[in-house]
Structure 1
Amino acid sequence: QVGFGVLFGVLVGYVGGRMIDHFATRGWIEGAARQLSTLAVGVGAFAVAEIVNGNGFVAAFVAGLAFGEAAREHCTGAYDFAEDEGQLLATLTFLFFGAVFAGPALGDLTWPILGFALLALTVMRIVPVAVSLVGSHLSVPTVAYMAWFGPRGLASILFGLFILEEADLPAGDEIFLVVTWTVILSVLLHGLTSVWLSERYGQWYVIHRRSHMPEATAVEEMPTR
């Protein structure tokens, strides 16, 4: 599955990128048509990979890499489009998730499921982040803030659906139920604490800011191709 995903991701992404670059250079497509064509490359890579029993998610990711190499001049516009449309698609995904999966899961909650979901949002998140930041010289409040805000959302839903539909595991339903409750609790806990903790952290930073602090280092915007 991964091999087919990589193969068709490269093929569709590169060919699609070259075609869009060729058409745009000659003025055959522009504006919204060019942006929608970019979206079609990712969707096409996913669809082709799924048809040949490849991994569609891998194909879409690799197609993006190949597209960036083949159509460098159009990456900035594609990024802006993806950012805007990504918010819309994310909202629709959560709407679908709440309507189809969250409701039935309310009646299947058990103590082990609740306990694992809470561990996934706390210990399993906070400890690895704290360990990864050892040596960064960030202050404890900064590490705690970064460690806490690791919401479980789209990625968890997608991989949970993959396990439910493709993996054919004996405990697939139970695993997806755990994923569902982890996402539900993440929406509640991170949603309820986001504004309050952000304000508290902002106030702490204003009071304790020093020029030598890593938190005070200017960060440049990540460049696009």
Structure 2
Amino acid sequence: MTQETGLLIIGAIALLYAAFARRLTTSVLTGPMLFLILGWLLAEMNVFQLGGAEKALHILAEITLVIVLFSDASIIDIGALRRRHVWPQRTLLLGLPLAMLLGTLVGIVLLPDWPYWEVALVAAILAPTDAALGQAVVTNPAVPRRVRRALDVESGVNDGLTLPAVLLFGGLSVGELHQVQDQNWLLFTVWQIGFGICIGAALGWGGGRCLAWARNRGFSAAGYEGIALIALAGLCYLISDIAGGNGFLAAFAGGAGFGATQDSRDHQLREFMDSEGTILTLGTFLLIGLALVPRAVDAISTPVLCLIGASLFVVRPVAIWLSLIGTDASGPVRLFIGWFGPRGLATVLFALLIVDQIESLPHREVIVAIATLTALASALLHGATAAIAARRFGPRLDGAE
């Protein structure tokens, strides 16, 4: 099969997906699952050169991560989150750290030869969730609105909250290998995190104020806000990177600063994420299947499979259950929220980010394989159960409205 035929297949699948997208939301097949498997099949048929696919993946992954972090942060209403959304507060402030802690403890047992900080790094990479893999739950009116909102808010915020931990544990992993430079690595990582956040927040707030000023005077139009979103996200990343901060954290902080200046964040910015953002996300899943899944499958081992299973079936559900103790969330609600925390784009992109930045990590290839296989398993399991669970169990979540 030639590359032209492969591109023809991708184009045809994309067209069919767009044509039947609404019907697919009620089926066991999701967009990320479809494009991930499509990429894997094309890789097995040797349609494309894997070297070229890997280069394309790294470029698209960085662009997608910058825009997703900025966009997710820009639609967060901090005031409403503090006042009304008790469940997301608990899952983010308690559940997320608990997931990292439990994941680290499980990893120490399953990967006894690994350095502790590297195990903690893997736990942090596997912590963020991706609502795109369970979209049938987030958008299905059969599921109580409060449950959907809790899942949606959590998945939009936890990737940005997890990133500092990923960078910190990555830096400490390297410091553990070169103990004389422990303090230098720690200071460098903390500087990157703090400086990136400060630069991003300032640029995002300033850019948002400029855009609001132009719109109020009739110089701009709402339909062009997507362009401003991309441009401002790119500026936050590039300026922070040039100045010595972390560009990805700057993008997240920039999105939060930008969102604080906007009155219509829930409408226009959501529209952007549902269109242009979806294209980038599905394209990245395609390249993950094409470039990473075949190599990750070859790296399967019993400890890796046990770690992935524990992450999906034990770590996240237990962390969420414990974090919601003392709230009005019933047992079924806790189980539902705990299960529908699929691992996807952020998990794989964080793994790629950290191995690109820190070449001396001793288990860098295995880390990418674990992240890739977790996303693959999550795409299949959560994607296949999302529509069914929303229909059959959503109406039974009493008291969640």
Post-superposition Cα deviations, 1:5-59, rounded to whole Å, max 9, x if no partner, equal 1232133212322321232233222133233113211121012222333211210
Hey, what's the Cα distance between the residues in 2 that align with 1:86 and 1:79?
10
- Structure 1, unaligned runs of 5 or more: 218-225
**Are residue 80 (structure 1) and residue 273 (structure 2) matched?**
no
Distance 1:201 1:101, change over 3 A: same
Of all paired residues, the percent bearing the same amino acid is 33
TM-score scaled by length of structure 2: 0.48
**Are residue 188 (structure 1) and residue 380 (structure 2) matched?**
yes
Post-superposition Cα deviations, 1:58-115, rounded to whole Å, max 9, x if no partner, equal 101111222234x334534542333323333222221221111112212221111111
- For 1:69-108, list aligned pairs within 5 A: 69=260, 71-73=261-263, 75-84=265-274, 85-108=276-299
**Are residue 48 (structure 1) and residue 229 (structure 2) matched?**
no
**Are residue 121 (structure 1) and residue 312 (structure 2) matched?**
yes
- Deviation, 1:195, is 2.2
Distance 1:196 1:75, change over 3 A: closer
TM-score scaled by length of structure 1: 0.82
- Deviation, 1:132, is 1.0
Check whether the contact 1:38–1:78 (CA below 8 A) recurs between aligned residues: no
- For 1:160-179, list aligned pairs within 5 A: 160-168=351-359, 169-179=361-371
Hey, what's the Cα distance between the residues in 2 that align with 1:77 and 1:200?
30
Hey, what's the Cα distance between the residues in 1 that align with 2:199 and 2:371?
30
Look up the SS of the partner of 1:27 in the other structure. Answer: coil
AA of the residue aligned to 1:183: A
Hey, what's the Cα distance between the residues in 2 that align with 1:36 and 1:74?
16
Distance 1:136 1:40, change over 3 A: same
- For 1:1-225, list aligned pairs within 5 A: 1-69=192-260, 71-73=261-263, 75-84=265-274, 85-168=276-359, 169-202=361-394, 204-205=396-397, 209=398, 214-215=399-400, 217=401
Look up the SS of the partner of 1:151 in the other structure. Answer: coil
Size of the aligned set, in residue pairs, is 208
Hey, what's the Cα distance between the residues in 2 that align with 1:159 and 1:34?
27
Which residue number in structure 2 is paired with residue 220 of structure 1? none
Check whether the contact 1:24–1:34 (CA below 8 A) recurs between aligned residues: no
Look up the SS of the partner of 1:122 in the other structure. Answer: helix
- Structure 2, unaligned runs of 5 or more: 1-191
Hey, what's the Cα distance between the residues in 2 that align with 1:34 and 1:186?
33
AA of the residue aligned to 2:312: L
Q: RCO greater where, 1 or 2, for CA within 8 Å and sep 6 or more? A: 2
Check whether the contact 1:49–1:56 (CA below 8 A) recurs between aligned residues: yes
Hey, what's the Cα distance between the residues in 1 that align with 2:268 and 2:236?
16
